[in-house]
């Protein structure tokens, strides 16, 4: 049965005042509607923010352990619903069921990690120059936090922003990507059943330009955390800055893999395929440029093409599918735009480049270009689709120079067995996440995550780093 997701405001499921809903569709099955979500208005948003504002005092007064107990409860409830949440996510955005199941498990682990944070230290004692004084730092919540999330990790990202916001004593207004509103509603159901105090977590769906922008501009929203496109992120940053709210932006990537002549070939090829094509390339950490030293280039290329030809593209709900469709028509069009640009600008199309199964959904072939000119669009701009730009280089130094020659700096990998190549990569690669002999995608929940250059607002998410964003430091002097 097709369901309609309601907003969740002050502990109650509520329809939008607009009386309108929008359809969530299945990118793998154009005939199937997954459900409907509320097309909310600015007035709905005001009520939602008001609920979060009223709840913040009571929530911030609970101990970390008490707040943590709620998060443990949400995790336990979610554990009972893994299949339902994962299936809804696969239907809404086309990632394979294996991946959405993995993502749901990751969401549960994130909830438990931050539940434990409620018992960890929040400050330091700092020696004062006054012998009779005690000086220390403590941390206080920001207040109401607006959470704006994308569709590509529809389970993990809402949780990795919401769980730390809550554990450090903030209340939350969550606006999910419209594409995956129903998946997010299923996560909120778990919070609802865990009986968090009213207004602590609120959920509102609707268009980015009304609800997303409205959150960024709202005078009662004290912090905004966003993952998505650069253009939207930068506007959110400007709006937050102009009214003195704290903001955190995670945006695009153009992530390189460097393959040295001494690399483990099988490992490098497998990691390139997984990094570039899992989730149909729709990860900000996806591999999109590959630089291979000349001595290994032909062997690498042959194996990459052979293994790419073996990938099975199809229905994300089928166990035999390795890669699903693009998440939407807009994403498919975007991907085809870049593929056409690659051909127009003279890159050699080695494999892929076509839409497939078009009667069924928004499918595209895994695509590999052989390139010589690093200034080409497909080597510079984020594609957010299963497309690799492959380069032959004269040395690791040249690979590194090209790897850094983009405006992004999120994630980067090198495959080498030489320790000094590893060390220079760690030192000289401009990326927030540098990975040695491992694919460019893959984030661990207990470690800081974020980018350099245009990839982020230079803040970090996840692990202990989340504390820096979701709290303010107070320096206390007692005499
Ligand atoms: N870094 C990453 O992980 C991601 C990067 N992207 C990049 O962005 C491209 C476009 O994807 P898209 O989904 O359109 O990304 P957007 O940046 O438009 O969407 C991300 C989130 O922001 C919301 N939003 C949209 N417009 C505004 C606004 N004016 N003010 C505040 N919030 C807003 C969206 O809501 P709504 O869904 O209702 O529009 C969604 O919740 C992709 O091709 C990819 O290159 C996309 C997703 C994730
Ligand atoms: O690679 C990951 O696990 C996280 C990537 C991510 O945050 C994103 O694509 O938005």
Helix (H) or strand (E) holding 71: helix 64-80
Is 388 strand, coil or helix?
strand
pLDDT for position 37: 98
Which atom of ligand 2 is nearest the CA belonging to 106? 3
**Taking 70 as the threshold, does the pLDDT of residue 372 lie above it?**
yes
pLDDT tens-digit readout, 418-444 = 999 999 999 999 999 999 999 999 999
Q: Residue with the nearest Cα to atom 25 of ligand 1?
A: 208
Among the listed residues 250, 293, 382, 461, the single catalytic one is 250
Distance of CA 145 to the CA centre of its chain: 18
Token pair 């492959």 in the structure block, residue? 390
Which long-range contacts does 302-310 make (Cβ < 8 Å, 24+ apart)?
Answer: 303/265, 303/266, 303/269, 304/269, 304/272, 304/273, 304/368, 304/388, 304/390, 305/350, 305/351, 305/368, 307/269, 307/270, 307/273, 308/273, 308/277, 308/351, 308/352, 308/366, 308/368, 309/351
228 lines ligand 1 (CB under 6 A): yes
pLDDT tens-digit readout, 300-334 = 999 999 999 999 999 999 999 999 999 999 999 99
Strand partners, 393: 293
Is 271 strand, coil or helix?
helix
pLDDT tens-digit readout, 90-123 = 999 999 999 999 999 999 999 999 999 999 999 9
Q: Indicate which ligand has the atom closest to the C-alpha of 160.
A: 2
Dist. CA 439 → ligand 2 center (Å): 12
Complex prediction ipTM: 0.97
Q: Which domains does the chain have, with CATH numbers?
A: 3-251+456-478 (3.40.605.10), 255-444 (3.40.309.10)
% the chain with pLDDT above 90? 99
Separation CA 457–CA 239 (nearest Å): 14
Is 419 strand, coil or helix?
helix
**Taking 80 as the threshold, does the pLDDT of residue 2 lie above it?**
no
Q: Residue with the nearest Cα to atom 10 of ligand 2?
A: 284
Which atom of ligand 1 is nearest the CA belonging to 207? 38
Alpha-helical runs (H) found in 118-252:
156-167, 181-193, 213-217, 230-242
268-282 in b/e form (b: 16+ CB < 10 A) is bbebbbbbbbbbbbb
Mean pLDDT of 252-256: 97
pLDDT tens-digit readout, 141-184 = 999 999 999 999 999 999 999 999 999 999 999 999 999 999 99
pLDDT tens-digit readout, 24-46 = 999 999 988 899 999 999 999 99
Q: To test the ligand 2 pocket, which listed residue (443, 455, 465) has its Cβ within 8 A of the most ligand atoms?
A: 443
To the query of whether residue 250 is one of the catalytic residues in this protein, the response is yes
213 lines ligand 1 (CB under 6 A): yes
What band does 1 get if pLDDT is binned at 50, 70 and 90? low
User: Could you count the other beta carbons within 10 Å of the beta carbon of residue 474?
Assistant: 12
């Amino acid at each position: 049965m097709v369901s309609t997701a309601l907003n969740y405001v002050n502990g109650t499921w509520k329809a939008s005042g607009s009386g309108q809903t929008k359809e969530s569709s299945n990118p793998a099955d154009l005939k199937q509607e997954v459900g409907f979500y509320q097309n909310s208005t600015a007035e709905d948003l005001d009520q939602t923010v008001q609920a979060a504002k009223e709840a913040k005092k009571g929530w911030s007064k609970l101990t970390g352990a008490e707040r943590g107990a709620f998060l443990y409860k949400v995790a336990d409830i979610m554990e009972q619903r893994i299949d339902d949440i994962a299936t809804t996510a696969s239907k809404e955005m086309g990632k394979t069921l294996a991946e959405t199941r993995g993502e749901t498990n990751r969401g549960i682990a994130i909830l438990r990690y931050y539940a434990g944070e409620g018992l960890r230290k929040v400050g330091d004692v700092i020696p004062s120059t006054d012998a009779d004084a005690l000086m220390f730092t403590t941390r206080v919540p920001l207040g109401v936090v607006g959470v704006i999330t994308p569709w590509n990790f529809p389970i993990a990202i809402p949780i990795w922003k919401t769980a730390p916001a809550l554990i450090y004593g903030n209340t939350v207004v969550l606006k999910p990507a419209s594409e995956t509103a129903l998946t997010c509603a299923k996560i909120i159901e778990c919070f609802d059943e865990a009986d968090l105090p009213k207004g602590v977590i609120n959920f509102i769906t609707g268009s980015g330009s009304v609800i997303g922008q409205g959150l960024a501009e709202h005078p009662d929203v004290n912090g905004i955390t966003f993952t998505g496109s650069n253009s939207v992120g930068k506007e959110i940053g400007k709006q937050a800055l102009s009214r003195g709210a704290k903001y955190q932006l995670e945006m695009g990537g153009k992530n390189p893999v460097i393959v040295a002549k001494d690399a483990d070939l099988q490992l490098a090829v497998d990691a390139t395929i997984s990094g570039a094509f899992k989730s149909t390339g729709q990860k900000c950490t996806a591999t999109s440029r590959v630089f291979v030293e000349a001595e290994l280039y032909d062997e690498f290329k042959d194996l990459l093409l052979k293994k790419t030809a073996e990938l099975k593209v199809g229905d994300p709900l089928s166990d035999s599918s390795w890669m699903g469709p693009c998440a939407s028509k807009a994403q498919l069009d975007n991907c085809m735009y870049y593929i056409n640009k690659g051909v127009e600008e003279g890159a050699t199309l080695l494999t892929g480049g076509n839409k497939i199964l078009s009667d069924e959904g928004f499918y595209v072939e895994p695509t590999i270009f052989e390139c010589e000119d690093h200034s080409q669009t497909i080597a510079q701009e984020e594609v957010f689709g299963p497309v690799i730009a492959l380069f032959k280089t004269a040395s690791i130094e040249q690979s590194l120079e090209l790897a850094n020659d983009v405006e992004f700096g999120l994630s980067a990998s090198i495959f080498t067995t030489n320790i000094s190549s590893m060390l220079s990569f760690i030192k000289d690669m401009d990326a927030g996440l540098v990975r040695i002999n491992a694919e460019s995608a893959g984030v661990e929940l207990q470690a800081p995550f974020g980018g350099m250059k245009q990839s982020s607002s230079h803040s970090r998410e996840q692990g202990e780093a989340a504390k820096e964003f979701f709290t303010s430091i107070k320096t206390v002097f007692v005499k």
